[in-house]
Chains A and B, each alone.
Chain A
Amino acid sequence: MKSRGLWVWLLSLAPAPVFVLALHVGAYPISLTELWQALTPGSGVPEQLRAVILQVRLPRIVLALLVGMALSLAGATLQAVFRNPLVDAYILGLSAGAAFGCAVSVAFLPAWPVQICAFACALLAAMLTFGLARTRAEVPTLSLILAGIVVSALFTALVSLIKFLVDPHKLASIVFWLMGSLSLADWHTVMKALPWIAAGALALWLSRWRLNALSMGDQEAKSLGVEVGRERGFFLLAAALMVAAAVSVSGIIGWVGLMIPHLVRMLVGPDHRRVIPLSMTLGAAFLMLSDTLARTVTGGEIPVGIITTVCGAPFFIYLLKRGGQESWKL
């Protein structure tokens, strides 16, 4: 109990050292002195080095930070709204929905920003999953997960259909992007995702206490003065917004949203006034670290989705095994 305060500090500061580490290592190692010099103008650092840092490595790290934050926040929000610690955007089909939206946009609506279509489809997926899982006023844990699998499968099939229909040039770009990677990051990509993720994060940050009420279930939330339908809509909207922006720039990266909020709750307790901000920072730190591994562990590039899954799947099994005795039951 006493250690909670310490964890709050550690988790809030976690992104800083990871950020520096991520800048430091890579195919072209950069020493800390060089880093410092590159960031201060007129210090005589070779242009090439400065370009590597400012145009290649920095935007990629910033994008990892944004996407990690978005996925983790969306996970924390969905877990509270659905009273179910075992879900995230990936499991509930929001990611697949957003991917479908992106594919549709790339294939048929080249003039539109991809995020609009991705957002609409992510929201549609969320509502489908919720609608399928809901029996009267309850949303049972297992049916929610099953509904998520069904909705995910549906949208994944639709993405395949689009892949089948589009011309080979577009097909290549869809396939590459779907793998879940941050290797295409540049400042342009960062700026495409930033406003959406920032808007969603701000909305959640400001209303985070209300997630505690919503997580009590419909009837009790109502008795606490919550307009349940409207507020659930608000939170799903914010989650879908962030997931859509994340998927549109980095493809489907699973498990971050499931794992990070869980870890945060284990360390500092379930109060969403703390869970939301700390999921944000830990999510950012985790994805920056995973992406650093993805681009340094082997000679080439591993899609970062592989790293998050390799961490996430065993974690999920651990949660299942531990379930019932701790914070939740299946």
Chain B
Amino acid sequence: MISAQQVSLRLNGREILHQVDLTARPGEVTVLLGPNGSGKTTLFLCLSAQLTAERGAIFLGEQDLRRLSRRQLARRLATVPQEHHPVFPYLVRDLVLLGRLPRLGFFAQPRGADRRVVEDILELLGLTDLADKPYTRISGGERQLALIGRCLAQEPEILLLDEPTSHLDLRNQVMVLKLLKNLATTQKLTVLLTLHDPNLALLFADRVVLLEAGRVLAQGLPEDVVNPENIKKLYGLDMEMISQGARRLLYPRLS
């Protein structure tokens, strides 16, 4: 479990986050929705200790984030960054293997046990056939999977993903989100991610947090939170909703 309590942060005199409360639980997919510039990425940077909150605190379970070293943190929390700029064309297998780094000592080299963990992950993600390809020469969806694989090799409790679907086509978006949902249920992972599409949040989220101008607008079950009123507040768009059984679909009114 990861929770933010009353987290506030100012950058260059501008208030980016204001008393943000948020909780993501094990076994659940928690989706953070909000327009560009609402502070989603900044909040993620705080949650992964890349930025330090000015006020408030972040807890992993019972433990204050500030009391953990980078190494300790990396064994419990793994992140997939929004942008990844490759420089060296590592093989997919070597990229995933890098996730073992926080589990080993400074001068250690990965051993057989680490390689076995990696092989299992490659199989779980269906990447076995791509394992010996440079990760710069595979599709965007496959690369996203490989980066998720690197996270899994850290054997974390918590997985943070900043817009994991932003550069993917629909098929790959659904593939990645299904996988994350599956990981949350089967491995009791705490999965927290940001999305742009409220409908994908409705489909895959167990909990939704709405962020508007650095404040939490609402959080709770998707069917309670993702409705035309809230989405209008977030994006300034008039929304319509259609329901069929338990399914709902939101779309913007065009005239």
Does the CB pair A227–B70 fall under 8 Å? Answer: yes
Binds B, one of A6-14, A66-74, A144-152, A216-224: A216-224
With A209-B109, A224-B102 in contact, is A215–B50 under 8 Å at CB? no
186-209 of chain B: CB within 8 A of chain A: none
With A222-B50, A223-B81, A225-B70 in contact, is A84–B87 under 8 Å at CB? yes
When each residue 219-261 of chain A gets 1 if its CB lies under 8 Å from chain B and 0 otherwise, what string results? 1101111110000000000000000000000000000000000
Partner of B75, one of A80, A207, A225: A225
B81 to chain A, nearest CB (A): 6
When each residue 271-302 of chain A gets 1 if its CB lies under 8 Å from chain B and 0 otherwise, what string results? 10100000000000000000000000000000
Does the CB pair B87–A1 fall under 8 Å? Answer: no
Partner of A223, one of B78, B109, B134: B78
Does the CB pair A217–B85 fall under 8 Å? Answer: yes
How distant is the Cα of A271 from the Cα of B91 in the complex, in angstroms? 8
Partner of B101, one of A1, A80, A226, A326: A226
Residue B219 interfacial (CB < 8 Å): no
B253 to chain A, nearest CB (A): 39
**Count of interface residues, chain A, beta-carbon cutoff 8 Å:** 30
Q: Which of B70, B74, B78, B85 has the most CB of A within 10 A?
A: B70
1-32 of chain A: CB within 8 A of chain B: 1
| A-B CB proximity, top 6 nearest | A225-B74, A225-B102, A270-B88, A225-B71, A206-B107, A83-B87
With a cutoff of 8 Å between Cβ atoms, the chain A residues found around residue B107 in the complex are: 206-207
How distant is the Cα of A220 from the Cα of B71 in the complex, in angstroms? 13
Q: Which of B79, B84, B88, B106 has the most CB of A within 10 A?
A: B88
Residue A156 interfacial (CB < 8 Å): no
Partner of B99, one of A206, A224, A227: A224
Residue B90 interfacial (CB < 8 Å): yes
How distant is the Cα of A215 from the Cα of B78 in the complex, in angstroms? 18
How distant is the Cα of A217 from the Cα of B69 in the complex, in angstroms? 19
With A207-B106, A271-B94 in contact, is A223–B87 under 8 Å at CB? no
Does the CB pair B98–A224 fall under 8 Å? Answer: yes
Partner of B84, one of A212, A215, A220, A271: A220
How distant is the Cα of A189 from the Cα of B67 in the complex, in angstroms? 50
With a cutoff of 8 Å between Cβ atoms, the chain A residues found around residue B84 in the complex are: 220
**Count of interface residues, chain B, beta-carbon cutoff 8 Å:** 34
With a cutoff of 8 Å between Cβ atoms, the chain A residues found around residue B70 in the complex are: 222, 225-227
With a cutoff of 8 Å between Cβ atoms, the chain A residues found around residue B49 in the complex are: 222
Does the CB pair A209–B99 fall under 8 Å? Answer: no
Residue B110 interfacial (CB < 8 Å): yes
Identify the closest chain A residue to B74 (Cβ): A225
Partner of A224, one of B74, B87, B110: B74
How distant is the Cα of A232 from the Cα of B23 in the complex, in angstroms? 35
Please, could you name 21 A-B residue pairs with CB atoms under 8 Å apart, sorted by A?
A84-B87, A206-B107, A210-B106, A212-B90, A217-B85, A220-B81, A222-B50, A222-B70, A224-B101, A225-B70, A225-B73, A225-B75, A225-B102, A269-B134, A271-B90, A273-B109, A326-B89, A327-B87, A327-B89, A327-B136, A328-B87
Residue B38 interfacial (CB < 8 Å): no
How distant is the Cα of A220 from the Cα of B160 in the complex, in angstroms? 12
Residue B154 interfacial (CB < 8 Å): yes
Identify the closest chain B residue to A203 (Cβ): B107
Residue B132 interfacial (CB < 8 Å): yes
Q: Which residues of A contact B (CB under 8 A)?
A: 1, 80, 83-85, 206-207, 209-210, 212-213, 215-217, 219-220, 222-227, 265, 269-271, 273, 326-328
| Total A-B pairs, Cβ < 8 A | 77
With a cutoff of 8 Å between Cβ atoms, the chain A residues found around residue B136 in the complex are: 327
How distant is the Cα of A226 from the Cα of B74 in the complex, in angstroms? 9
A213 to chain B, nearest CB (A): 5
A3 to chain B, nearest CB (A): 13
How distant is the Cα of A180 from the Cα of B89 in the complex, in angstroms? 34
With a cutoff of 8 Å between Cβ atoms, the chain B residues found around residue A212 in the complex are: 88, 90, 94, 98
With a cutoff of 8 Å between Cβ atoms, the chain A residues found around residue B88 in the complex are: 80, 85, 212, 215, 265, 270, 327-328
B52 to chain A, nearest CB (A): 13
B76 to chain A, nearest CB (A): 10
How distant is the Cα of A271 from the Cα of B87 in the complex, in angstroms? 12
Identify the closest chain B residue to A223 (Cβ): B79
How distant is the Cα of A287 from the Cα of B195 in the complex, in angstroms? 54
How distant is the Cα of A85 from the Cα of B88 in the complex, in angstroms? 8
B77 to chain A, nearest CB (A): 8
Residue B30 interfacial (CB < 8 Å): no
B147 to chain A, nearest CB (A): 9
Residue B165 interfacial (CB < 8 Å): no
How distant is the Cα of A84 from the Cα of B85 in the complex, in angstroms? 12
A279 to chain B, nearest CB (A): 14
How distant is the Cα of A326 from the Cα of B73 in the complex, in angstroms? 35
Q: Which of A85, A206, A225, A270 has the most CB of B within 10 A?
A: A225
92-118 of chain B: CB within 8 A of chain A: 94, 98-99, 101-102, 106-110
Residue B8 interfacial (CB < 8 Å): no
New contact pairs (16) apart from A223-B50, A224-B102, A269-B89, CB-CB < 8 Å: A83-B87, A209-B101, A209-B108, A212-B98, A216-B98, A217-B85, A219-B81, A222-B50, A223-B48, A224-B101, A225-B73, A226-B70, A227-B70, A273-B109, A327-B87, A327-B89
How distant is the Cα of A326 from the Cα of B86 in the complex, in angstroms? 11
